[in-house]
Amino acid sequence: MEDFTSFWKKEEEKLEQRRSQAIWPGGQKAVDTLAKRNKRPVRDLITDLIDPGTPFFELSMLAGFGMGYPGVEDVPCAGIVTGIGKIHGNWTMIMANDSRVKAGTYFPITLKKHMRAQAIAEKCGLNCIYIADSGGVFLPMQAEVFPDDQHFGSIFYNMARMSAKGLRQVTLSTGGNTAGGAYIVFMACESIMIDRQSFSFLGGPPLVKMATGEEISAEDLGGARVHTQVSGGADHLCNDQTDAIAKVRELLSLTRPQEIHLHRYQPVEPATGPEVIYDILPASPHQGISGLDFIRSIADGSHFIEVKKNFAPGRGSNILTGKIRIQGLPMGVVCSNGAGIIFHEAAKKVAEWVVRCSYEKIPILFIQSSPGYMVGSESEHAGIGKFGADMVRAVSCAQVPRIQLVIGPDNGAANYGMCGRAYRPHFLFSTMRARTSVMSGKSAGGVLLSIEQAKKKAKGETMTPEEIEAFQQKMIAKYDGEAHPFFCASRLLNDRVLKFSEIREWLAMAVEVSMIKPVGEASFGNFRF
């Protein structure tokens, strides 16, 4: 077996560098500036907020790079830290503006990231903590962030809806909250402000002077004492950030303990160990894999209970189905295998398995490494469209938690059938081997070249070999670049790019969090079996 370990370790070094860029916008100088204002970086606050010695599972860390907004190329970490941690033993969603990134203002990607965190919280039944320090929308892009559904106002709509469902919304203001940002304070179930550090107003002093002629300081207009003693817009006055973090923990100290609606067994480490993943996954994302070896590398005891192992040998085995446990938690598995091309036999197998898992009320893990469904007259006549539609229908209607892990090509309709972003999985993780796009660069280059040549021919022109090569390479670079996990993560097409060594820990968290809410009854549409 070829050793790919050194290749993947180098790839993950690139991942670590990108994470560092996200965590340290502005470098030490930005941290020193915060310190002069008696502030600390938001991740330090989050460390103090969650239970001592427990991990913070930060989501969408790589969002916001290479966005090319007007005058702003990068928005590191999208200017907001989101993630899941335990507070008094309960999983909690935390959203914290990072004022080091354009004063915490909201770009389109900031909104998308904030609302993705809210969507996870609502779907999984998590209380929410907001650490607010924002100047509101990025004004040069107001048309892209202010008036529409899923724009700025949807944040507050979501807060209201979650509060109505009994999910606590607690805001800690650590700085300025202007215009729409003020509602993050006022919409909370309970809000905390810090004396002479927190401010919240619908219009700041400059706007007030322009609109009414009144001259007033930020402190007198909407400081912490104004809203905790006069307006009643906030509930708790604290002296500093340390005091405020302690108050947040106190407010959640009597929260009812969460119950996981899934039986749990004693965790067992894989017999092979996660490090084997670095050896078994080829460096080329388009080379076939052993799905069985991958499953054994992450499953407790490396044990996999395969279902329909002998069904349609060859074509049916391009996807594996069965059950595993990860850190003691049982789940169904749908895993690409070999070349990963989905034939109609595999589509039938997956649809049936998803329905079974739904009636058993166990979560499903989709391990995706598929370039798409099989094409051609033989497949069409055999019903690939019909059975592929059944697979998509089953995945769409499954009421159990669904988690996608991308470890290879993620192209075309296979992205749909294997529970891609459009199918609203509870969590979606990628690895450095993931490539998510409508088709591979090589395929796109060939298809688009034929279209370009047809256009030229209609004009009585032909392409030289040099022009053909240049055109193909341009298309390959474009499609492969847009398929890369960094590109996808920047645009929030995944929730986290994982190192291979992190997979088990993150999957266990995702399953546990997803099973906090009871699973409803299974119900499916009109199958064409």
Tens of pLDDT, residues 384-421: 999 999 999 999 999 999 999 999 999 999 999 999 99
H/E stretch holding 23 reads helix 5-23
Closest CA to 299 of 319, 322, 327: 327
Question: Could you give the residue ranges of the DSSP H alpha helices within 146-285?
Answer: 152-164, 182-186, 205-212, 218-222, 224-225, 241-251, 277-280
Q: What is the pLDDT of residue 274?
A: 82
Given a cut of 80, whether residue 450 has pLDDT beyond it is yes
Q: What is the pLDDT of residue 442?
A: 84
Report the range of poorest mean pLDDT among 115-119, 137-141, 226-230, 250-254.
137-141
Given a cut of 80, whether residue 190 has pLDDT beyond it is yes
Cα–Cα distance measured from residue 263 to residue 146, given in angstroms and rounded to the nearest whole number: 44
CB atoms within 10 A of CB 371: 22
Percentages helix, strand, coil for the chain (3-state, rounded to 5) are 45, 20, 35
Q: Which residue has the tokens 């407010």?
A: 251
Identify whether the C-beta of residue 400 lies closer than 8 Å to the C-beta of residue 424: no
Which band of pLDDT confidence, cut at 50, 70 and 90, is reported for residue 314? confident
Tens of pLDDT, residues 82-131: 999 999 999 999 999 999 999 999 999 999 999 999 999 999 999 999 99
112 contacts: CB under 8 Å, gap ≥ 6: 63, 78, 150, 492
Report the range of poorest mean pLDDT among 39-43, 201-205, 252-256.
201-205
Report the range of poorest mean pLDDT among 6-20, 30-44, 443-457.
443-457
Tens of pLDDT, residues 16-55: 999 999 999 999 999 999 999 999 999 999 999 999 999 9
Which band of pLDDT confidence, cut at 50, 70 and 90, is reported for residue 2? low
Provide mean pLDDT across the span 187-196.
97
Tens of pLDDT, residues 100-111: 999 999 999 999
Cα–Cα distance measured from residue 183 to residue 132, given in angstroms and rounded to the nearest whole number: 10
Q: Residue 51's beta-bridge partner residues? A: none
Q: What is the pLDDT of residue 100?
A: 95
Provide mean pLDDT across the span 266-278.
92
Q: What is the pLDDT of residue 135?
A: 83
Q: What is the pLDDT of residue 358?
A: 97
Provide mean pLDDT across the span 318-347.
96
Class of residue 99 by CB neighbours under 10 A (exposed 0-12, middle 13-18, buried 19+): buried
Nearest 5 degrees, angle CA 477-CA 483-CA 484? 90
| pLDDT, mean over the chain | 94
Q: Burial letters for 30-42: b for 16+ Cβ neighbours within 10 Å, e otherwise?
A: bbeebeeeebbbb
Instruction: Tell how strand 427-431 and strand 236-238 pair up.
Output: unpaired
Using alpha carbons, list the distances in angstroms from residue 69 to 176, 415, 483: 24, 28, 20
Tens of pLDDT, residues 168-181: 999 999 999 988 78
Higher pLDDT residue, 316 or 435? Answer: 435
- Using a pLDDT cut of 90, give the percent of the chain over it: 83
Provide mean pLDDT across the span 326-334.
98
Identify whether the C-beta of residue 512 lies closer than 8 Å to the C-beta of residue 329: yes
Q: Which residue has the tokens 């107003």?
A: 201
Identify whether the C-beta of residue 111 lies closer than 8 Å to the C-beta of residue 153: no
Given a cut of 90, whether residue 439 has pLDDT beyond it is no
Tens of pLDDT, residues 468-501: 889 989 988 999 999 999 999 999 999 999 999 9
Q: What is the pLDDT of residue 207?
A: 86
Q: What is the pLDDT of residue 40?
A: 96
Tens of pLDDT, residues 209-222: 899 999 999 999 99
Identify whether the C-beta of residue 44 lies closer than 8 Å to the C-beta of residue 471: no
Given a cut of 80, whether residue 528 has pLDDT beyond it is no
Tens of pLDDT, residues 336-346: 999 989 999 99
Q: What is the pLDDT of residue 444?
A: 82
Identify whether the C-beta of residue 114 lies closer than 8 Å to the C-beta of residue 144: no
